Amino acid sequence: MGHDEFQKHEAKILTPSFIVLLTLTVIGFALIAVRFIWGLGAVTNMSDGYPWGIWITYDVAVGTAIACGGYGMAILIYIRNKMHYHPMIRSAILTSMFGYGLAGFSVMVDVGRPWNSYNFFIPSKWQANSAMFEVALCVMAYTTVLLLEFLPAVLITLEKTEWKTLQRFMDMLHKRTGINRPERMDERLESVKELAAWLKPRLDKVLIFVIVLGITLPTMHQSSLGSLLLIASTKLHPLWHTGFLPLLFLINCMFIGYSIAILESVISSYAFKRPFETKELSGIANIIPWLTVIWLTVVIGDLTWRGQLGTALSFDFYSRFFLLDFGLVAGGSLLLFSGRKRESVRWLFVSAAMIVLGGALYRFNVYLIGFNPGKGWHYFPALAELLITVGIVAFEILGYQVLVKILPVLPKLHTRQQLDAKKHDDPVTV
């Protein structure tokens, strides 16, 4: 686990996309303020029939699945022993950290009485029957684990830093306002550096236990995200209500996680003008069809067993959404079975995108589209509700963009080129 596999992306932080994302973030957070002053009804279309809307469905159920890149990469590297993927882990963990952190944040915006959340830490209030109790604790724990996993990148930067920006800022402050630099500032900064240097090797030693915890926790809560809807046996359409929900959600988050790792790597290579990591990508792409095949088999087997195959093919409203999510996942995987398509960045991108869309649609189907509380209830998200979600996602991308430019997150190009050189004779079609 060398720290020298990673590097900062050297580029300006203030780009046009930064401004756009910042604007969206500001709008989103302004609307969140509205929600806290005038209540949930002021910004959302949720109702007593559809008490969970787009925030739970997208920000939490889909958002955390998308954030499973870190989970998937950790399984690949530490459990399946593919160390050569290690250079990709930091950016995966960073996205996971944002995904989960913001899912947690969305929940705090969504729940009506967030100030009572401390009850999750009071044993007498614990309710182990509730899948939500399990999800909440696991997600909180996992977010902490992700922070710890990311800490080395911060520590190494602290250790090496010259505090140039801070120094300049202090000088400017002094010139403009006459505030003096705090006494002994240099000394204190020095001790922060020393602390970082002291902590890093110690953290490195125990990190593997944290990392494994980071594999166990998503296994638990991703399946529980499926369990959440087990109770709604009278409201969730039989195409999706099954005892296999936990298993299906677990496999679903894995193939979404790997596919997102592919998309993310392709997009960031493109956006940051770095060479594509084709070799690693096609390696990852190799795993995905195995997972999707298991998933598709469980889905079909379960439908057959419960005698719902006819419903699935009836082409009514529900059946169409079912076929769409099923078809996207199946189609994407089919592409990946072809070895040559796996080597091409474009095809990789297309199939990964199809699988992510299909997998995400599956979660939408379970949480919203297949959910019918009875006659007279309808739900479609309000504009403000959507803008809050957009704001949160914008904030996520913004944070990623900034952090890869100030911390060593992306794989080092030097290592990259060495790897590529090894398999130079394989032509790569883009």
Partner 1 sequence: MGKPSRRQFFKIMGATGAALLAGRGRASASEAHLVNNETIGMLYDATKCVGCKACMSACKRVNSDYGSLSYEQAKFDKDGLWDAPQDLSGSTRTLIKLFKESEKSWSYVKYSCMHCQKPSCVSVCPVSAMTRDKITGTVDYNKDTCIGCRYCQIACAFNIPKFQWDKAIPQIVKCDMCKNTNLVKKGITGCAEACPTGAIMFGKRKELLAEAQKRLQENPGKYVNHIYGEKEVGGTNHLYLSAMPFNKLGLPILTEDVPAEFSEKIQHTIYKGFIAPVALYGTLCFVALKNMKGHESKDKKNSTEDAKEGSDHGA
**Residues 310-339 as x/- pattern, contact with partner 1 by CB under 8 A:** ------------------------------
If one asks whether residue 247 binds partner 1 (CB under 8 A), the answer comes out as yes
Name the residue nearer to partner 1 (CB basis): 53 or 399.
Answer: 53
| Smaller CB separation from partner 1, 136 or 185 | 136
Q: Considering only residues 249-268, where is the footprint of partner 1 by CB under 8 A?
A: 250-251
Q: Which of 8, 22, 29, 47 binds partner 1 (CB under 8 A)?
A: 47
Minimum CB separation from partner 1 for residue 405, in Å?
18
Cβ nearer to partner 1, comparing 129 with 177: 129
Nearer of residues 16 and 307 to partner 1, judged by Cβ:
307
How far is CA 269 from each of CA 208, 263, 265, 273, 410, rounded to the nearest angstrom?
Answer: 28, 10, 6, 5, 10
Taking the complex as a whole, how short is the minimal distance between the CB of residue 359 and partner 1, in angstroms? 16
Confirm if 43 and 384 have CB atoms less than 8 A apart. Answer: yes
One DSSP character per residue, 361-379 reads HHHHIIIIITB--STT---
Amino acid (1-letter code) at residue 100: Y
Distance CA 108, CA 32 (A): 11
Sign, CA dihedral 365-371-375-380, equals: negative
Enumerate residues 175-214 that contact partner 1 by CB under 8 A.
208-209, 211-213
128 lies in the binding site for partner 1 (CB under 8 A): yes
Cβ proximity to partner 1: between 213 and 324 the closer is 213
Q: Tell me the C-alpha distance between 12 and 286, whole Å.
A: 36
Which part of the chain contacts partner 1 (CB under 8 A), choosing from 25-33, 161-169, 224-232, 262-270? Answer: 224-232
Binding-site size for partner 1 (CB under 8 A) equals 84
Q: Are 46 and 388 in contact (CB under 8 A)?
A: no
The answer to whether 170 touches 185, Cβ cutoff 8 Å, is yes
Query: Is the Cβ of residue 243 or residue 327 nearer to partner 1 in the bound state?
Result: 243
What is the distance between the alpha carbons of residues 53 and 306, in angstroms, rounded to a whole number?
Answer: 28
Q: Are 155 and 207 in contact (CB under 8 A)?
A: no
Please report, as residue ranges, which positions from 131 to 170 form the binding site for partner 1 (by CB under 8 A).
Answer: 131-134, 136, 156
Q: What's the rounded Cα separation, in Å, for the pair 28 and 252? A: 29
CA–CA gap between residue 2 and residue 21 (Å, rounded): 33
Q: Which stretch binds partner 1 (CB under 8 A): 9-17, 48-56, 187-195, 390-398?
A: 48-56
Angle between helix 245-271 and helix 345-364 axes, rounded to 10 deg: 140
The residue with tokens 């469905």 is 57
**What x/- string results for residues 270 through 309 when contact with partner 1 is judged by CB under 8 A?**
----------------x---x---x---x-----------
Show contacts with partner 1 in window 365-404 (CB under 8 A). Answer: 373-375
Select from 9-17, 38-46, 63-71, 322-330 the region that touches partner 1 (CB under 8 A). 38-46
